[in-house]
Amino acid sequence: MEPISSVNGKVWGTGRHTTVTGVLFSFAIVVAVVTMMVLNALDHVAQKSNVLDDERSRETMSGALQTFAAQLAATLNDYAAWDDAATNVYAADGMPWTISNYGEMSVNSSLFDVAIVIGDDKKPIMAYRDGKPMDGSLDDFFAPSLWALFDRVKAAGTQDIPEATGFVGTQSGIAVVGVALVREKSGALSVPAGRHRYLIFARHLDAHRIDELGTTYVIAGLRKVAPDFAARYFVDIGDAQGKSLGKLIWTPRAPGDIGYSEVRPKVVQALCLVGLFFLVLLIIGWMAGRRLKAEEVNAREDALRDRLSGLLNRDGLRLAVDALVAASTQSKQNVLVLYLDLDGFKEVNDAYGHGTGDQLIRAVAAGLKVLIPDGAVLARIGGDEFAIAFASNDAEAAALQLSEHILDFLAEPLEIGRRVVVIGASIGIAVSAGGTVGREELVRRADLAMYKAKEAGRARMTLYDPAMDADREERNALELDLRMAIEGGDLALAYQPLIDASSHEMTGVEALVRWNRPGHGPVSPEVFIPIAETSGLIEALGLFVLRKACETAKQWPELRISVNVSPGQFRNPAFTDYVRYVLRQTDIAAKRVTLEVTEGYMIQNPQRTRQSIERLKTLGVTIALDDFGSGFSSIGYLRQFGFDRIKIDRSLVMEIQESDSQREMLQATVALARSLDIPVTAEGIETEEQAVIVSLFGCDTLQGYFFGKPMPAEQITERLHEARARKMKSHRTNAA
Ligand code: C2E
Ligand code: CA
Ligand code: CA
């Protein structure tokens, strides 16, 4: 399982994907729309220029037709208004002239192909076509509009030129036909009306002529079509009576289309380039965005990681356990969570510095990584706290086995740089069967179980038990009450006599704190001192005891006063200053004060301990090692700390009467201490025999129920009075 990246990767991945396709899609649409708009505009321009060109072609063509007709009209004028013609056409013997000058001229003439001379009665006098006499009547050949032209000529007054030209349908197609009165050049004619003669020229608009026109005017595909032919651009050929004879059409040059088709690829190319440019910009932007995203993802993942160990941090664990619990509600597996607190990490940190502490954390992280099962989540959730979570078909068994491996691993001395350190761990275990217990509760249970493991002593594992919650609640309530008691000064002190072994006189007292918890009765310091230690109340409590003890001891000038100091107080570098302050405030001689310290703290933190003891000794107080023999250290080892006194633990004294070995051990211990010039106090003396034995072995101070239980200050005062009275009495007896 890769807990975090998979949990979050999915979510982040999808979002990124959607936006990229979205942007690319909109970009493609924009490029397509722009391309279409540009092409559309170009098409519009092309169409426009096509239209303009077609219109120009039409104007050209209609001009060409007019020219075509005008040429015939000019020719006709030349031939009809001709002095020779005015003579010969009207002459009785004029036929040969007429035929050779008109009829025969119609062959191969580009000017006219039909030449006819008629009289006023419309009867042909001569009719030639293509140089040969024509057959049939004129009405068969020409459409009636010929006579419209004729009538116009006939009706022409003296002012008007007796000529008319127009298009006329013929048997062979369409021709421009001109009718003119044959007359002198000057227009004069001696022949009277009624005997006039007229010259008719026709020029056919045949395929050949049309081709010529097309070539001359540069109009491609020019051709003639029927009047009903549908065409967008054409030139109509109408006769004198306004009837359409046909149309001239042509192949549009469509210069716009040509230009468009030439320009289009270039435009598309240019747009593609622009598109490409923006695409590149977009890709660069997208990549930059992706890099930012990736950085963001990294940052988010970083936020879930512990820098030092590279493991998940508390947030990372939260997500991972959430995922595990969610998955196991489906799979019906159990989720196991182990909380692990290193023992002695603080001491390593204090003794060798943070560098070594960091290395230790990394070493532990590396070791745990190897030990945890595949797919397990490993997190560092605090200075020296780790958590492991995994899903398993087993319930506790898997977790207990793993814990055992971890404790074995941590029991071995660890080599950190050139140093070898010994640590351990307390492990709490909680199980969510089939994901039924949510993450928050699961983690809380593992945490609670871990505290229980720690309380029970180091290097232990504890499985969560619902009874722990009740314990916890009780403990919390007790902590609250204790806090109030400290703040309200509701703690009391009891004093236990310290007896000189040779004189059997009380030479000092040990101050022991007492708490009568409201509604509960007296609570043993063995119960509430550890709670004060873990809840940060110990400093206030310790200070209260020290001050109160010193104040009280002022009334007992002949007694020394011993005060217990917790490791929690001792660890504080400012502790010496507190002590100095209290000594001054209570105005008690430092040499009367003994501070009792247990060995636990020193072993883990020898250097610091030495420094603290040295500093305290400069104040003039005595430092005693309390509970010696309950731990594992030898006097030889502890000598380095410069203790002024050793207190042999009650457990060593208890069995000296029953057990020879115990007695020998005690004897050896005391002998060794004395050889080092360290005086020894024996605690827990309950019988006279014990008192005799420990005195014989060399203990100079005795403490225990046999001499007196811890008692209120008044009783100590009373004892002192009695002792003084006894002394006075013996003085007097001696004197007497
Ligand atoms: P300790 O410093 O070893 O104190 C001696 C304990 O042994 C006291 O228990 C005392 O009542 C008990 N004791 C003395 N003589 C005998 C005996 O002959 N037989 C038996 N069975 N017990 C005897 P107490 O007062 O319950 O204190 C327990 C522990 O609590 C102390 O052990 C000390 O470690 C801690 N403590 C007590 N007062 C203070 C305090 O003011 N500050 C700190 N830091 N710790 C304290
Ligand atoms: Ca003590
Ligand atoms: Ca003790």
- Alpha carbons 713 and 493: distance in angstroms, whole number: 8
Mean pLDDT of all residues in 107-122: 90
Kindly state if the Cβ of 481 falls inside 6 Å of ligand 1. Answer: no
The half-sphere exposure of 261 on its side-chain side, counting CA atoms within 13 A, is: 5
> What mean pLDDT do residues 457-480 have?
89
Query: Using a 6 Å cutoff on CB, does residue 374 contact ligand 1?
Result: no
Q: What's the confidence (pLDDT) of residue 99?
A: 92
Report CA(624)–ligand 3 centroid distance (Å): 10
Half-sphere exposure (Cβ direction) of 671: Cα atoms closer than 13 Å = 8
| Pocket probe mutation, ligand 1, options 533, 564, 701, max atoms within 8 Å of Cβ | 564
pLDDT at 478: 94
Neighbour tally for 675: CB within 10 Å:
10
Q: Phi and psi (nearest 5°) for 650?
A: -55, -35
Q: What ligand 1 atom has the least distance to the C-alpha of 685?
A: 18
The per-residue pLDDT for range 159-216, each reduced to its tens digit, is 788 999 999 999 989 999 999 999 999 888 888 888 899 999 999 998 888 998 888 8
Write the CA distances from 159 to 148, 151, 364, integer angstroms: 19, 16, 132
Q: Within 142-218, where are the H helices?
A: 145-155, 207-217
Ligand closest to 627 (CA) is 3
List pLDDT tens digits, range 510-557: 999 999 999 999 999 999 998 998 888 999 999 999 999 999 999 999
Predicted pLDDT at 604: 64
Question: What pLDDT, on the 0 to 100 scale, is given for residue 19?
Answer: 67
Q: Please tell me the predicted confidence (pLDDT) of residue 49.
A: 87
For 1, other C-beta atoms within 10 Å of its C-beta total: 15
**How large is the average pLDDT for residues 619-625?**
95
Residue with CA closest to ligand 1 atom 4: 512
Provide the total of helices (H) and of strands (E) in the chain, helices listed first: 24, 25
> Does pLDDT of 17 surpass 70?
no
C-alpha of residue 596 to centroid of ligand 3, in Å: 8
Pocket lining: 529 vs ligand 1, CB cutoff 6 Å:
yes
- Which is the closest atom of ligand 1 to the Cα of 542? 42
Q: Calculate how far, in angstroms, residue 558's C-alpha sits from the geometric centre of ligand 1.
A: 23
Instruction: Please report the pLDDT score of residue 8 as a whole number.
Output: 37
CA pair distance 415, 340, nearest whole angstrom: 20
Ligand 3 centroid to 647 CA: how many Å?
A: 7
Asked whether 496 lines ligand 1 (CB < 6 A), one says yes
Residue 259 CA to ligand 1 centre (angstroms): 112
CA 418 and chain centroid, separation: 43
pLDDT bracket for residue 111 (50, 70, 90):
confident
Distance 411 CA to ligand 2 centre (A): 30
Task: Find out whether the beta carbon of 626 lies less than 6 Å from any atom of ligand 1.
Answer: yes
Residue nearest to atom 33 of ligand 1 (CA): 564
Q: Mean pLDDT over all residues of the chain?
A: 89
% of the chain with per-residue pLDDT over 90: 53
d(CA 513, CA 562): 12
Ligand 1 pocket check for 526: Cβ under 6 Å = yes
Q: Is the CB of 524 under 6 A from ligand 1?
A: yes
What ligand is nearest to the CA atom of residue 562?
2
Residue 178: helix, strand or coil by DSSP?
Answer: strand
pLDDT (tens digit per residue) in 260-307: 888 888 888 888 888 888 888 888 888 898 899 989 888 888 888 898
- Ligand 1 proximity of 344 Cβ (cutoff 6 Å): no
Instruction: State which amino acid sits at residue 575.
Output: F
Judge if the beta carbon of residue 684 lies within 6 A of ligand 1: yes
Tokens of 567: 């490791």
Model pLDDT, residue 719: 95
The mean pLDDT of 353-368, rounded to a whole number, is 92
* Pocket flag, ligand 1, residue 682 (CB < 6 Å): no
DSSP letter at 336 equals E
Q: Compute the distance between CA of residue 694 and CA of residue 672 in angstroms, rounded to an integer.
A: 14
- Separation of alpha carbons 116 and 84, rounded Å: 17
**Which spans in 518-628 are helix H?**
525-534, 538-553, 567-570, 575-586, 600-604, 606-619
Phi, psi of 538 (to 5 degrees): -65, -35
Ligand 1 atom nearest to CA at 511 = 41
pLDDT value at position 405?
A: 94
Predicted confidence (pLDDT) at residue 223 exceeds the cutoff of 80: yes
For the ranges 25-39, 559-573, 667-681, the lowest mean pLDDT is seen at 25-39
Ligand nearest to the CA of 529: 1
Provide the pLDDT confidence category of residue 633 given band limits of 50, 70 and 90.
Answer: low
Q: Which domains does the chain have, with CATH numbers?
A: 314-465 (3.30.70.270), 538-728 (3.20.20.450)
**Ligand index nearest the alpha carbon of residue 498:** 1
Contact (CB, 8 A) for 495 and 513: no
Tell me the CA distances in angstroms from 11 to 1, 4, 5, 7, 17, one per residue in order.
Answer: 17, 11, 10, 8, 10
Task: Report the DSSP beta bridge partners of residue 199.
Answer: 117, 180
Quote the pLDDT of residue 11. Answer: 36
- Per DSSP, 387 falls in state E
Could you tell me if the CB of 525 is within 6 A of ligand 1?
A: yes
Q: What is the mean predicted confidence (pLDDT) over 437-452?
A: 93
List, in order, residues 6 or more apart from 176 with CB less than 8 Å away.
Answer: 68, 69, 72, 165, 166, 167, 168, 202, 203, 205
Question: Hey, what amino acid is at 616?
Answer: L
Closest CA to 67 of 169, 179, 217: 217
Q: What is the rounded average pLDDT of the residues 8-27?
A: 58
d(CA 400, CA 343): 19
Cβ of 566 below 6 Å from ligand 1: yes
What pLDDT shows up at residue 147?
93
- Per-residue pLDDT, 14: 45
CA of 514 to the centre of ligand 1 (A): 10
Check if 686 has its Cβ closer than 6 Å to any atom of ligand 1.
yes
Residue 627 near ligand 1, beta carbon < 6 Å: yes
Answer yes or no: is the C-beta of 435 below 6 A from any ligand 1 atom: no
Q: Determine the Cα–Cα distance for residues 614 and 570; give it in Å rounded to an integer.
A: 12
